Structure formats: structure tokens, C-alpha cells
Amino acid sequence: RVAVMYLGQIVETAPAERLYAAPAHPYTQALLAAVPRPGAPPAETAPAGEPPNPEDPPQGCPFHPRCPHVMPHCRTVPPPPLAQGGGQVVRCHLYG
């Protein structure tokens, strides 16, 4: 089982095989896309913007300042844990 954290909050959990095969949270997707692949050119996959200050985290989803899929309610409403099947749970409004 793997847990992915962003700014001290768990944003996704899943059995390892499922998480690596089908990451759901945009941060998990960016994190796995940044893993170097032998023989492949380096990927420029860092999320846009600067990481927020962990001493003053943003309201709503902690990843919303850097998320490519941000929606208005991401800025104010923390996403609840949402079961995706196969033991995968994601905290992202995209899946709610």
C-alpha cells in the first residue's frame, strides 16, 4: 500500500500496483511522470508555480495553486476522501 502526501496531507492511497498503473490525483500523476526512465529524455513535468508555504497552507485542496485541473471550489472546499475501487482512495474534486 502506498500513500502520497502533499503539504503534509494524504492526497491518495492505493495498493502499490494500482497506484503506479493508474494514479488518480494530479499531484500523484506529476510525481510519477517525474521519475526518470532509462533511455528517455528528461521530462519537464514539474507542476506549474511555486509550492505553497507549509506554515501557511492554502484553503481548500492543498494542491490547487499548482493543479492543472483546478476548479473554483478547489480553492475553498477541502476534498473528501473518495473511493475509486480496488482499494484506491483519492482526495480530489475531479472524482466527486
Residues 6+ apart with CB under 8 A from 27: 4, 6, 11, 12, 47, 63, 66, 67
Cut 0.85: pTM above it: yes
Each residue's pLDDT tens digit, 58-94 = 999 999 999 999 999 999 999 999 999 999 999 999 9
The three cell numbers of residue 23 are 494514479
For residues 7 and 62, is the Cβ–Cβ distance under 8 A?
Answer: yes
Q: What is the sign of the dihedral through the CA atoms of 73, 63, 47 and 55?
A: positive
How far is the C-alpha of 17 from the C-alpha of 64, rounded, in Å? 26
pLDDT score for 50 = 86
Domain residue spans in the chain?
2-35+44-95
